[in-house]
């Protein structure tokens, strides 16, 4: 019998995550002659793998007496940083603007001077996770003023591979739960009526960036979680 896959709603997916594994045996509508019943199980599965992608959020910031001067300084520093990153092997499409803003600041001295801060934030995506530290150093040495976060995660292809493994694990967990419930109710599993999948959950790894002569950042394993709700046919 083929499986029928459907998309879960966010509310139900969240419920499955909180509850772990849930199971119910339905008797209404059962075939009195055959003793047909259904057992519904909600279960989760996991798969863990090494990250193959890093996302670095970094910024270029400058303070000046006018908004235009602050913007001009940031633009010059961004140009310098981009050139250095290209020379380090970072393609232009790997560095994308996350946000840009200019705001007024007042100095807390006796002059109460007005200053303006311009900040250009970027999202830098790297496929070589071992080069993250060196690339961060290059950016800092050539215009970047801060690194807000480093997130190790999965590429689309790798995420798809681990999701398949997590779904297999979830299905195995669901069947184990169904077999336990069926045995307790003196029933036998006779087949699968339907399968519904939940939203994919990827647990990325975040790393702090410490100030030092040379930045070294070690990635950690990433966990992918999948949810399924399976309705099994069961007979007496």
Per CATH, the number for 53-153 is: 3.30.70.2970
Shortest CA distance to 46 belongs to which of 222, 221, 171, 170? 170
Question: Per-residue confidence at 29, pLDDT binned at 50, 70, 90?
Answer: very low
CA distances (Å), origin 51, targets 57, 109, 165, 217: 17, 47, 15, 13
Where are the CATH 3.30.70.2970 domain residues in the chain? 53-153
Res 11: pLDDT: 26
Task: Tell me the torsion sign for CA atoms 143, 148, 152, 158.
Answer: negative
Q: Answer yes or no: are the C-beta atoms of 219 and 51 closer than 8 Å.
A: yes
Res 36: pLDDT: 82
Question: Per-residue confidence at 34, pLDDT binned at 50, 70, 90?
Answer: low
Quick: pLDDT tens for 121-170.
999 999 999 899 999 999 999 999 999 989 999 998 999 999 999 999 99
d(CA 32, CA 213): 77
pTM: 0.69
Contacts of 150 (CB under 8 A, 6+ apart): 54, 55, 56, 57, 132, 136, 206, 207, 208, 209, 217
pLDDT at 9 over 70: no
Question: Per-residue confidence at 199, pLDDT binned at 50, 70, 90?
Answer: confident
């Amino acid at each position: 019998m083929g499986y029928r896959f459907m998309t879960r709603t966010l509310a139900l997916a969240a419920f499955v995550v909180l509850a772990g594994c849930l199971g119910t045996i339905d008797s209404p509508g059962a075939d009195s002659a055959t003793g047909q019943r259904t057992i519904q199980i909600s279960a989760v599965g996991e798969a863990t793998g090494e990250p193959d992608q890093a996302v670095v959020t970094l910024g270029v910031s400058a303070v000046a007496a006018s908004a235009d001067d602050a913007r001009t300084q940031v633009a010059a520093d961004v140009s310098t940083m981009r050139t250095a990153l290209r020379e380090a092997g970072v393609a232009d499409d790997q560095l994308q603007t996350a946000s840009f803003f200019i705001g007024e600041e007042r100095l807390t001295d006796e002059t109460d001077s007005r200053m303006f801060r311009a900040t250009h934030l970027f999202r830098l995506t790297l496929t070589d996770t071992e080069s993250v530290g060196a690339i961060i150093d290059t950016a800092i040495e050539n215009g970047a003023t801060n690194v807000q976060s480093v997130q190790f995660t999965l590429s689309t292809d790798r995420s798809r591979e681990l999701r398949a493994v997590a779904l297999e694990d979830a299905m195995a967990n669901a069947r184990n739960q169904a077999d336990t419930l069926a045995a307790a109710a003196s029933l036998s599993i006779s087949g699968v009526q339907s399968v519904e999948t939940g939203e994919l959950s990827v647990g990325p790894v975040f790393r702090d960036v410490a100030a030092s002569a040379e930045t070294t950042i070690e990635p950690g394993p990433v966990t992918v979680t999948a949810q399924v709700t399976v309705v099994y046919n069961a007979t007496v």
